[in-house]
Chain A
Amino acid sequence: MTPPDLRVHLLLFRLGQARFAVLASQIETLRAHDASGPARWCHALLGFPAAPSYRAPTEALVSGTWIVLDAMEELLDIPLEAIRPFPDLVEPFSLRRGLWGILPNQGQLIFLVDLQQMVKPDTILQPDPVAHSKLV
């Protein structure tokens, strides 16, 4: 059983219709999006097939890299046991995208993303990885 004091602090944000959360401890600072800056777009890091429309783009500094997130929603303090792993069939694919858990919240599913892992040079993904390889 998880010790009751094992809690995580999450920052929630949206990308298009999907909701995500990142450990607040991974974000060094936030700033308004600077279109001329060298920031990486979160949807591209996650492998979205197309760019969603960003309503309130904000940059988060993670391991020295600025990442553009959208629509910061709230901070949540939750027990670790509230987080579910991805189902077995999905987990190998989701982990490749830095998605490591799911938080069911008010009838919705929020995907937990490891932004530090995503900005490591050796884990930045190309737009079309092996996702369809099993069908070929």
Chain B
Amino acid sequence: MPPSEQPAVGARLLEEVKALRLDQDVAEVAEEWVKIVLFRAGSGRYAFYGHNIREILSGNEIYWVPGLPEFLPGLINVRGDIESVIDIQCLLGEPRAGAGEPGLIAMAVGKNFRSGIMVDAVEDVVDIPVSSIHPPLITLGEGVGDLVAGQIQLGKSLIPLLDIEKLQGRVTL
């Protein structure tokens, strides 16, 4: 091709840039994302899938019921609906620091499962690519290891992603 008919360098580079962006867009469309809720329980950071958490409650009185195991501290009244409350710290084997600030209750829903879950704080709700969820490490402790669906790479941290159905299996008689 005679030099006069060759596209200008700028135009050629522009074509390449567009092609690269197109590839990138295709990659982004193909990547599946999920919403997760990051929370703190005791000294640890954990996460739930966002679709499992219906709402976060604060200031609810927990009604103690005789005969419940330690991981079920009682019941709450949520706008007229009576819901159970799970002490996730107890199930995760997190050491209890003693009576501190009253925490929050995350209302969790799953297949045939509904309960409040006591957490110390909700840190964030974020969208992450599914590819950033890794299989759980076998080095996770027994309490946590029984409840995780995977681990999330967030920055330099690996955060256990808890599985509501595994939690249900653990607390259901």
> A: which residues have CB within 8 A of B?
17-18, 46-48, 84, 86-90, 92-94, 96-97, 99, 102, 104, 107, 109, 111, 125, 129, 131-135
Q: List 23 A-B contacts (CB under 8 A).
A: A18-B64, A84-B82, A86-B75, A86-B82, A87-B75, A87-B114, A87-B115, A89-B72, A89-B86, A90-B84, A92-B173, A93-B68, A93-B69, A93-B173, A99-B67, A109-B77, A109-B82, A111-B65, A129-B67, A131-B69, A134-B170, A135-B69, A135-B91
Complex Cα–Cα for A32 and B42 (A): 47
> B: which residues have CB within 8 A of A?
63-72, 75, 77, 80, 82-84, 86, 90-91, 114-115, 170-173
Contact partners of A111 in chain B: CB under 8 A: 65
Complex Cα–Cα for A93 and B65 (A): 9
| Shortest distance from the beta carbon of B112 to any chain A beta carbon, whole Å | 8
| Shortest distance from the beta carbon of B69 to any chain A beta carbon, whole Å | 4
Contact partners of B66 in chain A: CB under 8 A: 18, 46-48, 97, 99
| Shortest distance from the beta carbon of B88 to any chain A beta carbon, whole Å | 13
Contact partners of A132 in chain B: CB under 8 A: 69-70
For B75, give its contact among A17, A48, A109, A134 (CB under 8 Å). Answer: A109
| Shortest distance from the beta carbon of B116 to any chain A beta carbon, whole Å | 9
A90 near B70: Cβ-Cβ < 8 Å: no
For A96, give its contact among B67, B82, B91, B114 (CB under 8 Å). Answer: B67
B170 near A18: Cβ-Cβ < 8 Å: no
- Tell me whether A90 and B86 are in contact in the complex, defined as CB-CB below 8 angstroms, given that A102-B75, A104-B77, A134-B171 are known contacts: no
| Shortest distance from the beta carbon of B160 to any chain A beta carbon, whole Å | 18
Contact partners of B91 in chain A: CB under 8 A: 135
Contact partners of B71 in chain A: CB under 8 A: 134-135
| Shortest distance from the beta carbon of B42 to any chain A beta carbon, whole Å | 16
Contact partners of B68 in chain A: CB under 8 A: 90, 93-94, 131
